[in-house]
Structure 1
Amino acid sequence: MWRALASNMLTVLAVALFLVAGVILWGKSQYVAEGPLENAICLQVKSGSNMTRVSRDLEAAGAVTSGALFRIGARYSEKAAQLKAGSYLVKEGASMEGIIDQITRGGASTCGTEIIYRVGVNKLQVEVRELDPATEQFVELVEFDPTAGEAPEVYAEKRDQRDTRYRLALAEGVTSWQVVEGLKAWDVLSGEVAQLPAEGMLAPDSYEVQKGADRAALLAEMQEKQTLRINAAWESRQDGLPIQTREELLILASIIEKETGVPEERGQVASVFVNRLERGMRLQTDPTVIYGVTKGQGVLGRGLRQSELRKVTPWNTYVIDGLPPTPIANPGQASLEAAANPEATNFVFFVADGTGGHAFAETLEEHNRNVAKWREIEAQQQGN
């Protein structure tokens, strides 16, 4: 009898073990399999949250078949205690394994609200936008000038959310004064700026910013990036250029930056100035004259006067020979590369052509014809 009982017990145990193994295999297959989510969602994990709350949110959204299995998977993979606050784009069909990896890996949020602070040549602008999970495209909530009165309520609301991301967008051609004044006006930053960075030494680019970031540290990051760009352009420069130092390369690049907003023209504009320098001709470029008037502190906001074109300043390239003593703005990488590797042309003149670009010329006669065409275009525009 005891022998039969023992045999039955072993049989029951074997069946139980088989069933447990089956449940484990089933659970594992469910954990790694494609999930039931039909449309992408933005999952917000608040600071101080836990896997239980997250699993309930996922169940409510139809992203997981079992919150309990989700929590078991998190514990089994030893990630239950690694939850990171943020907003996460959970795509359709995401597995439990994939979701847990997302919300425990950390890093930048992949959806939710983004505030972009744009420092432009002509204005400051704040854009608040939010990612639409269904289209994975940002939807603008509000856009405003931070210097024009009180900020919209939606900005204050989104600014104070813990998972909001911040980005600084620095336009090509801004001056160092404009950058510093712009940073002073952004209320999510902290710290003082003791000294204005050298003109031209701040890299126009997009920068991820943490709330409360130090202004001086952010400027130092811009300077480090610009130094790397200048060095790279200098090392790759053409032989025989009429520039002797990295500083002269930066000055030339800043003039190119201010003379054209058409990317395809940078190489040609660079060639005009290089050709003029090689021939001993004055650069005769308005942006340098404007810098002599404003010193980079804001926009002139009007045309140049004849008296200003004749006035002797270190930056007036109508009256001085060669390059001005300093850059006149912060050039982008493309302008640095154009200064280092201008196109091979015989152009020594250019003038606006009415399309946003320029008409280039090798001779004064040809240039005068281009100027006459531009005058006609100007007259027509003023008459409309």
Structure 2
Amino acid sequence: MYIKKILWAIALIGLVIFGIIAYYIYGAMFQPNTAFSNDTAHIYVQSNANYDDVRKQLEPLLDDINSFDALASQKKYTSNIKAGRFAISKGMNNNDIINSIRSKNLPIKISFNNQNSLADLAGRISTQIEADSVALHAAMTNAAFLRKNKFTEATALGMYLPNSYEFFWNTSAEGFRDKMLKEYNRFWTEARRIKAKKLKLTPNEVMTLASIVYEESKQKEEQPIVAGLYLNRLRIGMPLQADPTLKFAAYQLPKYKNTIIRRVLNIHMEIESPYNTYKNLGLPPGLIAMPDLSAINAVLDYERHKYLYMVADAKRIGYHKFAKTLAQHNANARSYHSYLSSQGINQ
């Protein structure tokens, strides 16, 4: 009888202990464990992160980090960290949180436009994904990659079409570059390649001309006219004489660093550079900036006309006056230069 009582007591104690453990496990797994007021919080887990790194981000977001630690250890998350961007919803329990940060890497939208160089683009992208600007620039300028895909450092900027794209936050520098190459190849459809061939231009040359068109005019309705004018010059072997290329050439020189050229002068036309389209026939060796898609399409679908000359229109800022003859152009130019002088713009 005495032994039975002992056994019953042991059984009851065991049940109590089991109940306590079950309650603790239930609490650890299924009780809400968030401490933020917004609907959703995000954590960003780097590719080389360990559990302590993740824990530091989670601790201010959770009511009870210790219960999370216990379940994370039990579910072996502590030794199986996944990189990425993860969401935690208000009211989630530990089990839901672990499932989310272990298997639900969320994509993000990244965007870029009109970067002036690969270095600028690398800096812009590094603020949006895990890869840093140094790694991105190295990937973008990798000699073997450029050679394999028929780019040079001068034309490589044309591979990156300004738009919004979906990426995982932990995308590597090479992963970003390779996806942008796929987007570039998707853009260059057979129809667009046929248009370029009719212009006797390669896709790289189209992008180079588009960069000049874009720097010359930001007005979408005017860009096909500007493109047509430059194509007319190319056809007859006339120098492009594009002021934006002179500015680009100047900005490569120490003398013009951290300056803004508001007026192109004769001194700029004497700069020795393959980008000086007053001295050199044909297109420069590469892009002078990242063109909008509108400028690329403006080259491919240029306006057919007989204009050979243009100058900025003082009465319509941002637009140009076009001319078929040098005499008309000179009259337009005198009017514009008079306007610049009246505004005190001498350089």
TM-score by length of 1: 0.51
**Matching residue of 2:305:** 346
Q: Deviations over 1:35-82 (max 9, x none)?
A: 232268887989886569938x855x3x32323321232134321223
For structure 1, the residue ranges without an aligned partner over 5 or more in a row are: 111-117, 132-137, 139-163, 171-178, 184-194
Alignment of 1:166 with 2:132, yes or no, is yes
Provide closer, same or farther for how the CA distance between residues 370 and 313 of structure 1 changes in structure 2, counting only shifts above 3 A: same
Query: What are the equivalent positions in structure 2 for 1:188-207 lying under 5 Å apart?
Result: 197-202=152-157, 203=159
Q: Is 2:239–2:278's contact at 8 Å kept on the other side of the alignment?
A: yes
Q: Is 1:43–1:87's contact at 8 Å kept on the other side of the alignment?
A: yes
**Matching residue of 1:359:** 320
* Alpha-carbon distance in structure 2 between the residues aligned to 1:97 and 1:370: 73
Q: What amino acid is aligned across from residue 359 of structure 1 in structure 2? A: H
How far apart are residue 200 of structure 1 and its match? 1.9
Q: What amino acid is aligned across from residue 184 of structure 2 in structure 1? A: R
Identity of aligned residues (%): 20
Q: What amino acid is aligned across from residue 288 of structure 2 in structure 1? A: A
Alignment of 1:28 with 2:29, yes or no, is yes
**Correspondence for 1:298 among 253, 274, 278:** 253
Question: Hey, which of these two has a bigger chunk of helix by percent?
Answer: 2
Alignment of 1:79 with 2:77, yes or no, is yes
Q: Deviations over 1:315-368 (max 9, x none)?
A: 6655776x2363353644637733652343537343324576222536558766
**Matching residue of 1:255:** 212
For structure 2, the residue ranges without an aligned partner over 5 or more in a row are: 109-113, 141-146
265-274 or 312-321: bigger deviation: 312-321
* Alpha-carbon distance in structure 1 between the residues aligned to 2:21 and 2:271: 91
**Matching residue of 2:67:** 69
Q: Is 1:83–1:104's contact at 8 Å kept on the other side of the alignment?
A: yes
Q: Is 1:230–1:250's contact at 8 Å kept on the other side of the alignment?
A: no
**Matching residue of 1:174:** none
Query: What are the equivalent positions in structure 2 for 1:1-384 lying under 5 Å apart?
Result: 24-30=25-31, 33=32, 35-38=34-37, 50=51, 54=55, 58=58, 61=60, 63-83=61-81, 95-97=93-95, 99-100=97-98, 120=116, 166-167=132-133, 197-202=152-157, 203=159, 229=184, 232-233=187-188, 235-237=190-192, 239=195, 241-260=198-217, 266-277=223-234, 283-288=240-245, 297-298=252-253, 301=256, 304-306=264-266, 309=269, 317=277, 323-324=282-283, 326-327=285-286, 329=288, 331-332=290-291, 334=293, 337-338=296-297, 341-344=300-303, 346=305, 348=307, 349-353=309-313, 357-361=318-322, 363-364=324-325, 371=333, 374-382=336-344
Provide closer, same or farther for how the CA distance between residues 281 and 124 of structure 1 changes in structure 2, counting only shifts above 3 A: closer
* Alpha-carbon distance in structure 2 between the residues aligned to 1:314 and 1:381: 32
Q: Deviations over 1:192-247 (max 9, x none)?
A: xxx995422344689x9xxxx9xxx98xx869957973784373426474224345
Q: Is 1:38–1:92's contact at 8 Å kept on the other side of the alignment?
A: yes
Provide closer, same or farther for how the CA distance between residues 91 and 25 of structure 1 changes in structure 2, counting only shifts above 3 A: closer
* Alpha-carbon distance in structure 2 between the residues aligned to 1:268 and 1:313: 27
* Alpha-carbon distance in structure 2 between the residues aligned to 1:263 and 1:97: 53
Q: Secondary structure of 1:350's match?
A: strand
Question: Hey, which of these two has a bigger chunk of strand by percent?
Answer: 1
Q: Is 1:35–1:93's contact at 8 Å kept on the other side of the alignment?
A: yes
Q: Is 1:256–1:335's contact at 8 Å kept on the other side of the alignment?
A: no
Question: Aligned-pair RMSD on alpha carbons?
Answer: 6.3
Q: Is 2:209–2:287's contact at 8 Å kept on the other side of the alignment?
A: no
* Alpha-carbon distance in structure 2 between the residues aligned to 1:89 and 1:342: 45
Q: Is 2:42–2:86's contact at 8 Å kept on the other side of the alignment?
A: yes
Q: What amino acid is aligned across from residue 337 of structure 2 in structure 1? A: R
* Alpha-carbon distance in structure 1 between the residues aligned to 2:34 and 2:178: 46
**Matching residue of 1:141:** none
TM-score by length of 2: 0.55
* Alpha-carbon distance in structure 2 between the residues aligned to 1:169 and 1:380: 48
* Alpha-carbon distance in structure 1 between the residues aligned to 2:328 and 2:11: 102
* Alpha-carbon distance in structure 1 between the residues aligned to 2:278 and 2:23: 86
Q: Is 2:30–2:94's contact at 8 Å kept on the other side of the alignment?
A: no
Q: What amino acid is aligned across from residue 132 of structure 2 in structure 1? A: Y
